[in-house]
Amino acid sequence: MTDHRGEEIAVRRKRLRFRALRRGFKEVDLIFGTFAAENLEGMDWAELDDFERLLEAPDQEVYACLKDDGPVPAAYDTPLFARLKALCRRTDPTWNV
């Protein structure tokens, strides 16, 4: 028997990784692309939903929140966003895209 749910999540992760790399704002592409490369495989459905919501957010708004230049809107204030911000705070980060 084929595990369709497993195939479905694999396709979703692939699509989200593609979107993370091609938002159109280079800094955000690097941040989201690196985060996707390092984390997508371990994300469950709820975390993928959170990540997808962030991918739909305006680039400038997300970037300002990541730089602590503004409050994080409640819709994005999730443990996943905290992990994304932690990636930005790393010392000497390697951008894996």
Ordered by start, the domain boundaries in the chain are 4-88
SS3 at position 62: helix
Q: Look at the chain and count its residues.
A: 97
pLDDT in tens, the chain (97 residues): 455 677 899 999 999 999 999 988 899 999 999 999 999 999 999 999 999 999 999 999 999 999 988 888 998 899 999 999 999 888 776 776 5
| Single-letter amino acid, residue 31 | I
pLDDT for res 1: 43
**pTM for this entry:** 0.85
- CATH class for domain 4-88? mainly alpha
Q: Of 18, 12, 51, which is closest to residue 33 (Cα–Cα)?
A: 18
pLDDT score, position 71: 87
Q: Buried b / exposed e across 56-72, counting CB within 10 Å, b at 16+?
A: ebeeeebbebbeeeeeb
pLDDT the model gives residue 7:
80
Give the residue among 42, 5, 63 at the shortest CA–CA distance from 16: 42
